[in-house]
Amino acid sequence: MKTILTGIRANSELHLGHYLGVIIPMTRLANKYSKDYNVNIFVPDLHSIVSEIDGDLQKNIVRTIKYYLAAGLEINDNIHIYRQSYIPAHSELCWILNCVATMGEASRMTQYKEKSEGRESCNVGIFDYPVLMAADILLYSAEYVPIGEDQFQHIELTRNLATRFNHKYGEIFTVPVKTADQVKFMGVSDGIRIRDLLNPEKKMSKSTKAENSKIMLDDEPARAAKKIMSATTDSLGKIKFDMFNQPGVSNLLQIEALINDRPLQDVISDWAGETRYGELKKKVGESVSTMLTGFQKKLGEISDDEVFSLFQSGEDYANKVATAKLLEVQRAVGLRD
């Protein structure tokens, strides 16, 4: 059985960009495919500690899984939920892959460049981040890794490391599919990237100071709708999907389509010929506030125990699969007989 795998860091409360870009697409994929695929959803807690953590990591981890459940994830035996640090094989494979990855390719990763630039010191974990990510994926022979556009480079690196390893040591790893095909599998025309509401050229980010730039998942629904009303648009006066010239309007159309699970093209057609941005904002604001109301209600109904019991069975499964793959790797490189 093939595997679909994804993870999301639990460093803070998540925002609408995470929800629409990762949680929702992954939940829909899981519900659609989990009869025929293994679906691994894990919390990369080792990746969390490379940078600041807002709040309590343990609480954040549990909350992250609750987000999937509140988004409608339907649990069955093929869905595996686990914490990265509870599966020691991730760190061990990371080390072995460190000996396959080059300084050059790791230094070229945009995320590393952005996070290290202009800083006096940058921890080695930030540099090694994508290699650990490759281990996360390759241990489970995952072919599909639904993920935000900003992580595509890391998938390509994973493919390169797997191919190089296989070339040197034999066919041990399944190479995940190309990012272009990941996108097709996810059923989106392009990587999903929800924009900052005030500066729509940039992606929505939790580190942006301005409160009206982002919608957090714990925002009061009415307040979230107000943020949409104050979103930056443009002065072109036409409702069109054009991320380059009209990123603000395009972002609103994208949000509207994703929240209501409608093809972007249909939403674009609905608004074609319309000129009143206020009307569009009102509609999107309502969609966001309705979504948050339902989501927050469900979130409140999920207990910590429910999540811990998912971890228990998921970690049993993950340890079995990952340890077996690690042993193959250890044998291939000569660490085991």
Is 202 considered catalytic here?
Answer: no
Q: Does 6 bind ligand TRP (CB under 6 A)?
A: yes
What are phi and psi for residue 336, nearest 5 degrees? Answer: -135, 155
Q: Does 29 bind ligand TRP (CB under 6 A)?
A: no
Q: Does 97 bind ligand TRP (CB under 6 A)?
A: no
Which residue's CB is nearer to ligand TRP, number 163 or number 230? 163
Count of CB atoms within 10 A of residue 29's CB?
19
Q: Does 248 bind ligand TRP (CB under 6 A)?
A: no
Amino acid at 48: S
Q: 2, 66, 115, 202: which is the annotated catalytic residue?
A: 115
Which residue's CB is nearer to ligand TRP, number 129 or number 277? 129
Residues in the chain: 337
For the chain, state the CA radius of gyration. Answer: 21
Which residue's CB is nearer to ligand TRP, number 144 or number 295? 144
Query: If you write DSSP's letter for every residue of 316-327 in order, what string do you get?
Result: HHHHHHHHHHHH
Among 26, 50, 133, 329, binds ligand TRP (CB under 6 A): 133
Is 59 considered catalytic here?
Answer: no
Buried (b) or exposed (e) across 218-229, using 16+ Cβ within 10 A? Answer: ebebeebbebbe
Which region among 2-10, 58-66, 268-276, 319-327 touches ligand TRP (by CB under 6 A)?
2-10
What is the C-alpha to C-alpha distance for residues 132 and 130, in angstroms, rounded to an integer? 5
What is the C-alpha to C-alpha distance for residues 261 and 184, in angstroms, rounded to an integer? 16
**Spatial CA neighbour of 34 closest among 87, 72, 70, 67:** 72
**Nearest distance from C-beta of residue 89 to ligand TRP, angstroms:** 14
Is 203 considered catalytic here?
Answer: yes
Q: Does 9 bind ligand TRP (CB under 6 A)?
A: yes
Name 329's Cβ contacts closer than 8 Å, sequence gap at least 6: 93, 96, 165, 169, 172
Among 21, 44, 200, 221, binds ligand TRP (CB under 6 A): 44
Name 190's Cβ contacts closer than 8 Å, sequence gap at least 6: 149, 183
Q: Does 147 bind ligand TRP (CB under 6 A)?
A: yes
Which residue's CB is nearer to ligand TRP, number 132 or number 225? 132
Distances (CA, A) of 314 to 13, 57, 78: 23, 19, 10
Which residue's CB is nearer to ligand TRP, number 90 or number 195? 90
Q: Does 176 bind ligand TRP (CB under 6 A)?
A: no
Which region among 52-60, 143-151, 239-247, 252-260 touches ligand TRP (by CB under 6 A)?
143-151
243 alpha carbon, distance to own chain's centre: 21
Amino acid at 134: A
Q: Does 63 bind ligand TRP (CB under 6 A)?
A: no
**Nearest distance from C-beta of residue 9 to ligand TRP, angstroms:** 4
Token duo for residue 42? 């894990």
Q: 168, 202, 203, 325: which is the annotated catalytic residue?
A: 203
Which region among 6-14, 48-56, 216-224, 284-292 touches ligand TRP (by CB under 6 A)?
6-14
Which residue's CB is nearer to ligand TRP, number 176 or number 221? 176
Segment holding 41, helix H or strand E: strand 37-43
Q: Is 40 left (phi over 0), alpha (psi -120 to 50) or beta?
A: beta
Q: Does 7 bind ligand TRP (CB under 6 A)?
A: yes
What residues are labeled active site?
A: 115, 203, 206
Binding site for ligand TRP (CB under 6 A): 5-9, 44, 47, 133, 136-137, 145, 147, 151
